[in-house]
């Protein structure tokens, strides 16, 4: 259970670090976009806790990176999926 918490927190910290670099001011940190980034980072940290091979520092760093870049990767996948769905709906 403690491992899951560590990975989830690392994902959350990665997302928070990315949000700090992304934010131009205090209002950006209080926005829904920032909250969404934090939630996705925590979820991806949790998912990495399920996928990791063993509990060690390199895996915690990877969970941090998942949190940092996870929102962008998820958005790219959703956009690609939307494009494919639009193409299919236009065919029929």
Domain ranges of the chain: 2-91
For 42-77, the pLDDT digits (tens) are 998 888 888 877 778 788 888 888 888 888 888 888
Cα–Cα distance, 26 to 8 (Å, whole number): 25
pLDDT at 75: 84
What is the 3 state secondary structure string of 36-84? HHHHHHHHHHHHHHHHCCCCCHHHHHHHHHHHHHHHHHHHHHHHHHHHH
Supply the pTM of this predicted model: 0.75
């Amino acid at each position: 259970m403690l491992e899951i918490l560590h990975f989830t927190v690392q994902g959350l910290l990665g997302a928070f670090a990315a949000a700090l670099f992304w934010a131009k001011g205090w209002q950006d940190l209080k926005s829904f976009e920032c909250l969404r980034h934090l939630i996705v980072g925590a979820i991806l940290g949790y998912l990495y806790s399920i996928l990791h091979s063993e509990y060690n520092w390199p895996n915690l760093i990877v969970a941090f990176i998942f949190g940092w870049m996870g929102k962008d990767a998820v958005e790219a996948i959703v956009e690609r999926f939307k494009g494919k769905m639009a193409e299919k709906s236009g065919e029929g």
